[in-house]
Amino acid sequence: MASYHFQIHLAATVVLCLSFPVITSENLDNTKHAVDCIQSIASQYFIGSDSLTVVIPLFLEDATRNDFSLESNEGAYKLLPKLHALTTLPLSVIRPSIMAKVSLKSDVYRKETNYVIILRDTCKLLMKEIILILRGNMQSITFLPSWNSRARFIVVVTTEDCGPDTEEIALNIVEELWTWKVLNVVVVTPTSEPFRSQQISHIQEDHKEVPVLDLFTFAPFKTSINLWKRVQSVFLIDQWSSFSRFLHNRHLFPSKVPHNLKGCPITVSTIVYEPFVLDPDVIPNDKNSTVLRYKDGFEIRLLRLIGSAINASLVFRPPPDNGELWGRNLLNGTWTGIRGDVVHGKSDVALCAIVVTSENSVVMDPTVTYMRGGFVWVVPHPETFPRWLSVFRVFKLFAWLCIIVTILLASVIMWRLSRTPINREDAKRTMSANIFDAWAVILGISVPEMPRCLHIRIFFIFWVIYCLAVNTVFQAFLTSFLIDPGLLPPIMNLDELLDSGIEYGYHPLMDRYLDSDNEKHREILHNHKICLNTTACLERVAVKGDFAHFLSRQVMDYTSYYKFQDANGDSLIQPFNEDFVQYNIAMYLTKGSPFLDRFNDIIAHAMQAGLLDLWYNNEIYWAKLSAHKISEIAADDGYSALSKVHIQGAIFLYGIGNVFGVLVFVFEIFYRSFIANVRFKRTGVI
């Protein structure tokens, strides 16, 4: 403990802030009672925590010089060994004088659970000075990432006597702590004269047991639910006696937030983001303005369950009108959007698929995570093959090459058989005639002249059987391809997306999920388009088919059913198979909100009951039903009448054949003319 900075990661911390160094013999007895009282509270309420931390103020720095045995600080260092004797609690020491110079690394998700603040000789100071000292001590610990306003706080006033001002001092201390959102606080002061003179019935060894310390606390929700944001009064919760024990043994840290808030308004900031939050109803009120009432959506159902459980009225703020939506942290430290409403105290709660991040958790308090999701790239649904390609798509390229080779091979075989000595009838058949006969058979039409020789007829019969099988398969599959030509290969991954040449974009908040050290990610960061309106961007993906969007898979699942389907019920957008990045979703409350524990309890019960899965699945189910109703309007009975659209392939081939025939005809004319000119030059005869 000789080191001035012995920092350990802790889940529970006791902080001692000594406002004045000197403890004289006049008030040494009160100091002893205060030390015993703190030790008793720590042993009763702090056991189970991870450590204790002592914070030594600026004006003790020169006196102590890392020496914890100085008699001038007897009161403070009487307490340290007693707290250290609680062997389950390692003890740490931090000096606020060097806190601004030292960068403390701490997990933002780990929060302290206990604090003790000791104020010395406060009765000799003006109330304003007392508050300034307390405020300085609070500032020295609240900048830490592990700061937790919902922890247990004990403020001890170690002085000889405060007279009748005890309750006023306690009230002012509590008011200051309430500005830091501290709710569970007990103020320990020397008892006032009326209490000091009061006799208690319990007597031990002929000495009367009298109270020496008063313990005050407050209940912000007790007097008026609607006035909970300011302290009305404090009350005496227990007393420490001259026999070093509590007189009433009451629980010093009862639950301060009632289960029934009696309609206390809770202000909520949110935006429409299906299926988490659906479109609200706009209701006019008596003040010539409108009120938003969100009734449906996955997170709205959860919020209404919480509001119903604690009997609170939900007041929804208008969505941000500057296009910020979720908002962001600006360079000057201010926040915008719905998160900015919570950070700057305009709202108590913000919700709408807000991702749990360390940046958010520094300035707001997240609830427990109630959904795990993922961001995914969404690309246009692949287009259909051109119908004129249907004729060629019946067989693969290799199969077409095999058919061509067999035609040529059959022609060669029949030509060669016609040249055998025993075949005099077919000896005059040319190679071109054999090719035309083989081609005619595979097309299913008759040949101009049947072979006369027996061995050629036998081969010809087997060729007809082969062509019949090929022709039957071709015609069977051709009909299917004419009706449903199939889809072009889709974009399946990021490499194919970048190679496709289509534009892509996303909300600026997504930049954090891309690694600037990755070459592909750098290309995306440099070339992407900004998409502030998710619905508009998805419409471009679905309708124009020239854009890719990066968004939540839950949103994609919902909108692909509800908004982006064709008449046949097929989705117009298609996601990648794997999530690009995964995330956790939670609500965010103001830093130090007293409602966080109640929110967490209700959310945990809802998750255990399976309500969250039920609500989310219901949203997707209703989206599917809506899409089914739309598709039923244009649904067919499985039959299609062939039209010119379906026979594009035949028309295309017919046109190619005509063009080819005309070109051959022209070529023959020029060829004949050329031959005639050559003959004329040689013989002089046309």
pTM of the model: 0.72
Q: pLDDT tens digits, residue range 60-106?
A: 333 333 333 334 445 555 677 777 676 566 666 666 554 544 555 55
The least confident of 69-73, 209-213, 279-283 is 69-73
pLDDT at 349 over 90: yes
191 shares a domain with 123: yes
pLDDT at 419 over 90: no
Question: Which of 400 and 76 is assigned the larger pLDDT?
Answer: 400
Question: Which of 334 and 161 is assigned the larger pLDDT?
Answer: 334
What is the spatial distance between Cα 395 and Cα 389, in angstroms, rounded to a whole number? 11
pLDDT at 59 over 70: no
Q: Give Cα separations from 120 to 28, 83, 117 (angstroms).
A: 12, 19, 10
What is the spatial distance between Cα 447 and Cα 411, in angstroms, rounded to a whole number? 13
312 shares a domain with 220: no
pLDDT at residue 76, rounded to an integer = 56
pLDDT at 585 over 60: yes
216 shares a domain with 67: yes
What tokens does 344 get?
């700057």
State the CB neighbour count (10 A cutoff) for residue 446: 9
Task: Give residues with Cβ within 8 angstroms of 451, minimum separation 6.
Answer: 414, 418, 426, 429, 457, 460
504 shares a domain with 473: no
269 shares a domain with 140: no
Per-residue pLDDT band for 7 (boundaries 50, 70, 90) equals very low
Query: Do 231 and 311 form a contact (C-beta atoms < 8 A)?
Result: no
- SS3 at position 211: strand
Domain boundary among 483, 515, 530: 483
φ/ψ of residue 529, rounded to 5: -95, 150
pLDDT at 643 over 90: no
Mean pLDDT rounded to a whole number for the chain: 78
Task: Give residues with Cβ within 8 angstroms of 117, minimum separation 6.
Answer: 15, 16, 17, 134, 137, 138, 153, 154, 155, 156
Look at residue 651 and tell me if it is in a domain: yes
pLDDT at residue 134, rounded to an integer = 82
What is the spatial distance between Cα 200 and Cα 242, in angstroms, rounded to a whole number? 11
Domain count, the chain: 5
Cross-strand pairs, 203: 208
pLDDT at 604 over 90: yes
Look at residue 412 and tell me if it is in a domain: yes
What is the spatial distance between Cα 531 and Cα 559, in angstroms, rounded to a whole number? 16
Q: pLDDT tens digits, residue range 608-619?
A: 999 999 998 888
498 shares a domain with 476: no
Per-residue pLDDT band for 259 (boundaries 50, 70, 90) equals confident
Per-residue pLDDT band for 414 (boundaries 50, 70, 90) equals confident
Question: Which of 456 and 225 is assigned the larger pLDDT?
Answer: 456
Look at residue 10 and tell me if it is in a domain: no
Which helix (H) or strand (E) is 373 found in, with range? strand 371-380
Look at residue 191 and tell me if it is in a domain: yes
E-assigned strand segments in 25-142: 52-55, 91-94, 114-120
C-alpha triplet 86, 89, 93: angle, nearest 5°: 110
Chain mean position to CA 249: 46
Q: pLDDT tens digits, residue range 138-176?
A: 887 887 777 888 888 988 887 665 666 788 888 989 998
- SS3 at position 525: helix
Give, as one character, the DSSP assignment of residue 253: S
pLDDT at 23 over 60: no
CATH number at residue 272: 3.40.190.10
Query: Do 488 and 383 form a contact (C-beta atoms < 8 A)?
Result: yes
418 shares a domain with 341: no
- Nearest Cα to 375, choosing from 564, 543, 524, 540? 524
pLDDT at residue 56, rounded to an integer = 59
467 shares a domain with 351: no
Per-residue pLDDT band for 24 (boundaries 50, 70, 90) equals very low
Look at residue 356 and tell me if it is in a domain: yes
396 shares a domain with 356: no
Domain boundary among 449, 483, 517: 483
Domain boundary among 433, 464, 483: 483
What is the spatial distance between Cα 333 and Cα 350, in angstroms, rounded to a whole number? 19
Question: Which of 347 and 27 is assigned the larger pLDDT?
Answer: 347
Per-residue pLDDT band for 675 (boundaries 50, 70, 90) equals confident
227 shares a domain with 131: yes
Question: Which of 69 and 216 is assigned the larger pLDDT?
Answer: 216
Q: pLDDT tens digits, residue range 465-491?
A: 999 999 888 888 877 777 777 778 888
Question: Which of 442 and 23 is assigned the larger pLDDT?
Answer: 442
Look at residue 598 and tell me if it is in a domain: no
624 shares a domain with 657: no
State the CB neighbour count (10 A cutoff) for residue 268: 24
Per-residue pLDDT band for 454 (boundaries 50, 70, 90) equals confident
Instruction: Note the residue count of the chain.
Output: 686
pLDDT at residue 282, rounded to an integer = 83
Domain residues for the domain of 355 are: 264-370
Look at residue 641 and tell me if it is in a domain: no
Look at residue 458 and tell me if it is in a domain: yes
pLDDT at residue 373, rounded to an integer = 87
498 shares a domain with 479: no
pLDDT at 12 over 80: no
